Structure 1
Amino acid sequence: MKLRVHGIDDGQPIPETFAFGVYNEQDHMSFGPNRNPELTWEDAPEGTRSFVVLMFDPDVPSVADDVNQEGRVVPRDLPRVDFFHWVLVDIPASVNRIPEGEDSDGVRPKGKAPGPGPIGVRGVNNYTQFLAGNPDMAGTYAGYDGPCPPWNDERLHHYHFEVHALDVDSLGLSGEFDGHDVREAMKGHVLASARVTGTYTLNPDLR
């Protein structure tokens, strides 16, 4: 199976069009256009009954004490965890394209609701947890919300866009399910997968 993420070449920087946060010299970061990129895929195997789309960053600090703190850095060798930016399941087998901006167009304070969306069923991304302590932003963030890595992180962040062809019509997930729930539910049902990886940073020393 082949996946194309329009506007993002494998291994290359992600354009700010698709970012939740963009570099700002005065304040380190400001909100970006936060549009989901267009995805197209082909050559799904026979027997495919639905698709899953995931996008995640495996370079997120496991400890947030130094994140975005003046006079500190997030060290390159700090252990990292997965941060899901896009969780979309139960995409019909007849679909092989998600248009740009279809699942996200702009930063929406307090997030978007999970459940049936324009295409498929939205799960919850990790901005739900990351912004929980911010009274202006706290809420449930579902569907796509793009890159916004710590501006003081010594590590370049990588963003894996994945599409998975499944042998079931639905994973049977509902409510505020997340990327880990999807990975567990997919076990034994994946017929084929494809991935494109982009990079992004807000650290001026890495840009």
Structure 2
Amino acid sequence: MKLQVKGITEGQPIPETFAFGVYSEEDHMSFGPNRNPEVEWSDAPAGTRSFVVMMYDPDVPSVADDVNQEGKTVDKDLPRVDFFHWLLVDVPADTKRIPEGADSDGVIPKGKKGGPGPIGIRGVNTYTHFLAGNPDMAGTYAGYDGPCPPWNDELVHRYYFEVHALDVDTLGLSGEFEGDAVREAMQGHVLASARVSGTYTLNPTLR
């Protein structure tokens, strides 16, 4: 199975077009265009009945005490956890492409709705938790919301775009399901997978 993410070269920096946050000299970070990139896949195996599309960052600090704090840095050796940026399940078997901007075009304060979207069913991404304490932004964030790593992180973050071909029409997920629920529901149903990775940082010393 093959996957292409238009505009992203394997292992190279992700363009700001696809980012939730972009570097700002005055304020460290400002909102980015936050468009989902175009993804296209091919060579799915016989028997494929649906797809899962996901994007996640495995490099998010496990402790957020120093995140985006003036005069502090997030140590590169701090243990890291997954942060899900995009979850689409029950993508029909005849779908081979998601156009740029189809699932996200701009930052939407308080988030986008989950459930059936333009393509497949949207799961809830981790911004739902990350922004829960911000009264201007708190809400349920579903579908795609792009990179916005801590601007004081010593580590350049990696981002994995994945497509999984499944042997079932539906994972049976509903409500505000998240990444771990998707991974658990996929177990035993994955026929093939493909991945493209990129990097992103808002730390001016690493850019």
Same fold, judged at TM 0.5 (above): yes
Q: Deviations over 1:70-118 (max 9, x none)?
A: 0000000000000000000000000000000000000000001110000
Query: 2-side partners of 1:25 and 1:130: how far apart?
Result: 23
Q: What pairs up with 1:42-57 in 2 under 5 angstroms?
A: 42-57=42-57
Q: Does 1:121 align with 2:121?
A: yes
Aligned length: 207
Q: Deviations over 1:150-184 (max 9, x none)?
A: 00000000000000000000000000000100000
* 2:35 paired residue number: 35
Which letter maps to 2:109?
P
After TM superposition, the runs of 4+ consecutive aligned structure 1 residues lying more than 3 A away are none
Partner-residue secondary structure (3-state), 2:3: strand
* 1:139 paired residue number: 139
Which letter maps to 1:119?
I
Query: 1-side partners of 2:54 and 2:33: how far apart?
Result: 20
TM, length-normalised to structure 2: 1.00
Q: Deviations over 1:112-167 (max 9, x none)?
A: 11100000000000000000000000000000000000000000000000000000
Which letter maps to 1:184?
E
Give the CA RMSD over aligned residues: 0.2
* 1:59 paired residue number: 59
* 1:22 paired residue number: 22
Partner-residue secondary structure (3-state), 1:170: coil
Partner-residue secondary structure (3-state), 2:185: helix
Query: 1-side partners of 2:180 and 2:22: how far apart?
Result: 27
Partner-residue secondary structure (3-state), 2:9: coil
Query: 2-side partners of 1:146 and 1:104: how far apart?
Result: 9
Identity of aligned residues (%): 81
Partner-residue secondary structure (3-state), 1:8: coil
Q: What pairs up with 1:96-115 in 2 under 5 angstroms?
A: 96-115=96-115
**Which residues of structure 2 form unaligned runs of 5+?**
none
Which letter maps to 1:206?
L
TM, length-normalised to structure 1: 1.00
* 2:74 paired residue number: 74
